[in-house]
């Protein structure tokens, strides 16, 4: 199957990598089992693979934008070692209680719209995959499909996700299998 115009928007922590909480040290980046192979499958199917992540630790002062970028570089290295790549990454550095409301914090749509403009993405052919409801809620608002993975925090949200009609699967590999067989 070859995709035309669609993207897969992935959350990072708890979806692609282990989530130790406020990940900001490159040496602590650990891919979840099967994540690199799943992303490689999306690359082969010509999906744009994009990370959209909330990074409130920046607003909290727990780490800096440079720390975030160092983690992203390490993630890129780990994926490249498995023949996989991320086409773009977008992050919200805000926290509503500390920096006020913003349009970029998921489930806000600003970062997704920026990605769509940069990569000429058709939302109706796109997927949202993450371990929190805020990761997959934009799919409904933008006309795509969401999949909740039960890695990371996903196990805590699967009942709500199912009640909203969101598909729930074990992990990123299972999500990609659904995407490639459904699309």
Buried b / exposed e over 33-70, threshold 16 CB at 10 Å, is: ebbbebbbbbbebebbbbbbbbbbbbbeeebeeebbeb
Per annotation, catalytic residue among 11, 19, 135, 171:
11
Active site residue 171: no
Q: Which residues contact 67 (CB under 8 A, 6 or more apart)?
A: 24, 25
Per annotation, catalytic residue among 13, 131, 135, 171:
13
- DSSP for 10-67 reads E-SBTTTB---SS---GGG--BPTTHHHHHHHHHHTT-EEEEEEE-HHHHHTSS-HHH
Just list the catalytic residues: 11, 13
């Amino acid at each position: 199957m070859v995709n035309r115009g669609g993207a897969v928007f992935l959350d990072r922590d708890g979806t692609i990598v282990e989530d130790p909480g406020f990940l900001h040290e490159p040496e602590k980046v650990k891919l979840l089992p099967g994540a690199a192979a799943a992303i490689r499958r999306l690359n082969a199917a010509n999906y744009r693979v994009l990370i959209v992540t909330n990074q409130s630790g920046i607003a909290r002062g727990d780490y800096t934008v440079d720390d975030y970028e160092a983690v992203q570089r390490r993630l890129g290295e780990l994926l490249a070692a498995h023949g996989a790549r991320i086409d773009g990454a977008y992050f919200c550095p805000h926290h509503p209680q500390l920096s006020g409301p913003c349009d970029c914090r998921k489930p806000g749509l600003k970062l997704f719209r920026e990605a769509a403009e940069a990569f000429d993405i058709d939302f109706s052919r796109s997927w949202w995959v993450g371990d929190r409801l805020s990761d997959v809620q934009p799919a409904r608002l933008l006309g795509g499909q969401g999949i909740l993975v039960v890695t990371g925090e996903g196990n805590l949200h699967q009942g709500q996700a199912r009640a909203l009609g969101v598909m729930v699967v074990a992990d990123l590999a299972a999500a990609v299998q659904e995407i490639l067989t459904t699309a």
